[in-house]
């Protein structure tokens, strides 16, 4: 069962993603900020990551860079309300493989996860 790391400082968003992904048959682990995300990537070795951009302590773009340092092949999709072109470009340049804008359509998130796992 593929394991997905969901990273978002909003408990509400983690709950939505967890519910959606578990219903789709995935294992889910969670982190509430970028620092936790990096630690959990090391300890949980998820198959894919859904990573919010705007978070306290360490934002998603910084966490993405740290995760890519750990694993250059990391499969990460950014999950964010900030769909600004500059942010998208920066995330893709840093190694993100997809970008899902909130509020997300459930099918879009599942498609993003499926694409990451291919």
Query: Would you say 51 or 74 has its CB closer to another protein?
Result: 51
Which 84-103 positions form the footprint of another protein (CB under 8 A)?
A: 84-87, 102-103
User: Residue 15 interacts with another protein (CB under 8 A)?
Assistant: yes
Nearest to 73 by CA among 110, 45, 33, 111: 45
Contacts of 71 (CB under 8 A, 6+ apart): 41
Query: Would you say 23 or 83 has its CB closer to another protein?
Result: 83
| Interface pick for another protein out of 35, 82, 95, 110 (rule CB under 8 A) | 82
| Interface pick for another protein out of 5, 9, 20, 51 (rule CB under 8 A) | 9
User: Residue 56 interacts with another protein (CB under 8 A)?
Assistant: yes
Distance between first and last Cα of the chain: 14
Enter the tokens of residue 94: 């840093």
Alpha helices (runs of H) in the chain, residue ranges in sequence order: 11-23, 34-44, 60-70, 85-94, 106-117
Nearest distance, CB of residue 20 and another protein, angstroms:
12
Radius of gyration of the chain, Cα coordinates, nearest whole angstrom: 12
Total chain residues near another protein (CB under 8 A):
19
Binding site for another protein (CB under 8 A): 9-13, 15, 54-56, 80-87, 102-103
């Amino acid at each position: 069962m593929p394991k997905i790391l969901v990273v978002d400082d909003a408990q509400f968003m983690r709950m939505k993603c967890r519910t959606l992904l578990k219903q789709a048959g995935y294992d889910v682990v969670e982190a509430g900020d970028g620092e936790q995300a990096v630690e959990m990537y090391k300890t949980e070795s998820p198959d894919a990551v859904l990573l919010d951009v705007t978070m306290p302590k360490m934002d998603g773009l910084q966490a993405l860079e740290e995760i890519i340092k750990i694993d250059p092949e990391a499969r990460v999709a950014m999950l964010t309300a900030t769909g600004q072109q500059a942010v998208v470009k920066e995330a893709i340049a840093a190694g993100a493989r997809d970008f899902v804008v909130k509020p997300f359509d459930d099918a879009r998130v599942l498609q993003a996860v499926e694409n990451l796992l291919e």
